[in-house]
Amino acid sequence: MSQDKVSAAVTSFDSPRCNKLVDRIKTAHELTFYLKQPLPVGLFEELKRVSAREAHFPIEVIVEDFQDVKYLRKLHAAGFSLFYGLGLPTESVVFLDSNRGFLLESDGVDSSSSLRELRNSQELYFKLLWRRFGNAVVLSGLTKERDVEARLICLAGEDGNELWCRHKEELIIQVPRVGAKIEVFAWEKWNSHILEILDLNVIEPRAGMAQ
């Protein structure tokens, strides 16, 4: 099931159970998701409503090998703290504070989900804290330097800081020319000084685009 031992008591993820989970979320002080697939739509919408409130508890989302960049941007845009994880459980897990956890299992046949309450919630919660290796950021600025072959861009931010960014090898993008104003959605991995670009938008081409 995972690289950590996860024990659970089976419960179904039907509407009444989902409503009970939402009710518990409203009384939580912290909410943490380790996602392997998108959240159930109703749950995501409720979390967005919670996050939109002026005073709300932290909502953290940690993902691994998540290929849907548009969905990652939705999570970030909703106000969730988005982290890059490694060695996560093979199924999605949600923690209400540190002492209550649930396993969200998705059925690939009919896209339904089941909800399992974890028996070792607190132990797993603290173990997984060490599986975070970066966070998502959205930055804008000017392209100061570039290396097309190495897929590198030096981004000069509005605050005067300069950051090197590299887009993933499998990500096909045009490298903006020097002077272009851009916005990047990227992983800021804590073991590297180079950001990993997930998505790039050119705001003002200025000198045009490289071929």
Q: How far is CA 26 from the centre of its chain?
A: 21
> For residue 151, what are the contacts with CB-CB under 8 A and spacing of at least 6?
166, 167, 169, 175
CB 35 within 8 A of CB 67: no
Alpha-carbon gap, residue 163 to 80, rounded angstroms: 23
Other Cβ atoms closer than 10 A to 107: 10
Residue among 17, 91, 29 nearest 56 (CA): 29
pLDDT of residue 50: 79
pLDDT at residue number 126: 95
First vs last Cα of the chain: how many Å apart?
45
Which CATH architecture group holds 135-204? Beta Barrel (2.40)
Is 30 in contact with 98 (CB distance < 8 Å)? yes
Query: For residue 210, what pLDDT is reported?
Result: 46
Phi then psi dihedrals of residue 78, to 5 deg: -75, -10
Q: List strand residue ranges (DSSP E) for 36-126, in order.
A: 59-63, 81-85, 92-96, 100-106, 113-118
Bridge partners of 9, per DSSP, are 117
Check: CB of residue 41 under 8 Å from CB of residue 128.
no
pLDDT confidence of residue 102: 87
Task: Report how far residue 102's alpha carbon sits from residue 90's, in angstroms, rounded to the nearest whole number.
Answer: 13
- CATH architecture of the domain formed by 8-133: 2-Layer Sandwich (3.30)
Given this model, what pLDDT does residue 55 score? 62
Supply the pLDDT for residue 183: 94
pLDDT in tens, the chain (211 residues): 455 555 444 444 444 456 666 777 777 788 999 998 888 888 888 888 877 775 667 899 999 988 899 999 999 999 999 999 999 998 889 999 888 898 876 654 334 456 678 888 999 999 999 999 999 999 999 999 988 888 889 999 888 889 999 987 666 667 788 899 999 999 999 999 999 999 999 988 874 444 4
Equal CATH topology for 8-133 and 135-204? no
Domain ranges of the chain: 8-133, 135-204
CA 105 and chain centroid, separation: 18
pLDDT at 5: 55
Q: Could you tell me if 119 and 8 are in contact, meaning their C-beta atoms sit under 8 angstroms apart?
A: yes
